[in-house]
Amino acid sequence: MNTSTTEQIDLGVEARRVQATARLAFARETHPELYRASAAARLDLAAAIIAMDEAEDIPGRHNLQEQADVEQALRAYGQALADLIRGEAADEN
């Protein structure tokens, strides 16, 4: 049974998604440098996930470093996305 046709739509969640889509579209146009930074961070996160998965497939090898790299890339992407939405880069201090 396809649950997508029977699920209730949470209008609050959908409203926040619409607002986020609009804010991201506006930010992309008004802050291209922050958009490029968030896109690069997203690619770094994807690359870290791929490296972690590849390390996991090697028998006898632990992928703790790759897991840490994914966590770091996730934090960096989150910060880059927040910077884009806010329209300014956060201070690194």
Structural domains of the chain, count: 1
* pTM of the full structure: 0.79
- The verdict on residue 4 lying in a domain is no
- The verdict on residue 27 lying in a domain is no
- The verdict on residue 7 lying in a domain is no
- 42: number of Cβ within 10 Å: 15
Is the predicted pLDDT of residue 89 greater than 80, yes or no?
A: yes
- 38: number of Cβ within 10 Å: 24
**What is residue 56's predicted lDDT score, i.e. its pLDDT?**
86
Enumerate residues 6+ apart whose C-beta is below 8 A from 25.
none
**What is residue 67's predicted lDDT score, i.e. its pLDDT?**
95
- The verdict on residue 24 lying in a domain is no
- The verdict on residue 45 lying in a domain is yes
Q: Tell me which residue range forms the domain holding 75.
A: 32-93
Q: Are 80 and 34 in contact (CB under 8 A)?
A: yes
The string of pLDDT tens digits covering residues 23-63 is 999 999 999 999 999 999 999 999 999 999 999 888 888 88
**What is residue 22's predicted lDDT score, i.e. its pLDDT?**
96
